[in-house]
Amino acid sequence: MSETENTERITMPLIGDIAPTFKVDTTMGEISFPEDYKGKWVILFSHPADFTPVCTTEFMTFASMQEDFRELNTELIGLSIDSKYAHIAWLRTIKEKIEYKGMKNVEVLFPVIADIKMEVAKMFGMVQPNASDNQAVRAVFIMDPEAKVRAILYYPLSNGRNMDEIKRMIIAMQKSDKENIATPANWNPGDDVIIPPPGSCGAAKERVESEEEGKYCLDWFMCLRKDS
């Protein structure tokens, strides 16, 4: 049997899929997804292990931004293949001992899933044997209020995530949903946005020739407008 055939098949929900449901024990008690998060966006993220330096910086940063995410109607859920008691001990250590980039006395108030049996991690393809067969990689799944997967990010074990980018993605997706627009490369709140391209020749001509406050066209297929 080849190495490829011997490797466990990894499955995961894709963008546009309804996310798997789960009921789990966490550092904040039992939670059920999506029932406990109706009407909210959710960031589910995994980390390789408790008491590790990269994960510690990530958790401190996520915790310090928790209210920023809540202002965006977004809740955080963490996960690793550790016990609830290991999670609690690690989070207490973070609060009582760790100071990093001006952050100290940081209390992690979002739930962290105890996933010793790797049930949730395997549902979301967070365990990837060629990276590690007993630790989750750094995965991020962003779900919308309908529990639909809207964005997926994967990072290797060695490199921490950019939480500002995750926040930017939430803002961009919410804006696209609300205003029926797209966002260009390196978009940040306040930058110009893209008007969806026309679906016919007549609509293209009308799009280019029509007057609309703040709108400008670089070509028939590429019109932008100033952010309102």
Count Cβ atoms within 10 A of the Cβ of residue 95 and give its class: 0-12 exposed, 13-18 middle, 19 or more buried: middle
pLDDT at 130: 64
Q: Do domains 3-161 and 180-228 have the same CATH topology?
A: no
Residue type, 196: P
Domain borders along the chain are 3-161, 180-228
How many whole angstroms separate alpha carbon 65 and alpha carbon 39? 20
Question: Residues at the annotated binding site?
Answer: 138
* Annotated catalytic residue 217: no
More confident residue, 132 or 30: 30
Q: Alpha helix (H) ranges present in 74-134?
A: 84-97, 119-123
Higher pLDDT, 17 or 11: 17
The rounded mean pLDDT for the chain is 90
pLDDT band at 3 (very low <50, low <70, confident <90, very high): very low
| Superfamily (CATH H level) for 3-161 | Glutaredoxin (3.40.30.10)
Cis preceding-peptide flag for 196 (omega within 30 of 0): no
Number of CB atoms found within 10 A of residue 155's CB: 18
Where does the pLDDT of residue 197 fall: very low under 50, low under 70, confident under 90, or very high at 90 and above?
A: confident
**Which CATH homologous superfamily contains domain 180-228?**
Antioxidant, Horf6; Chain A, domain2 (3.30.1020.10)
> Percent of the chain having pLDDT more than 70?
88
Asked whether residue 25 carries a pLDDT value surpassing 90, the answer given is: yes
Look up the pTM and report it.
0.90
User: Among residues 55, 201, 217, 223, which one is catalytic?
Assistant: 55
Residues belonging to the binding site for substrate are 138
Confidence of residue 128 (pLDDT cuts 50, 70, 90): confident
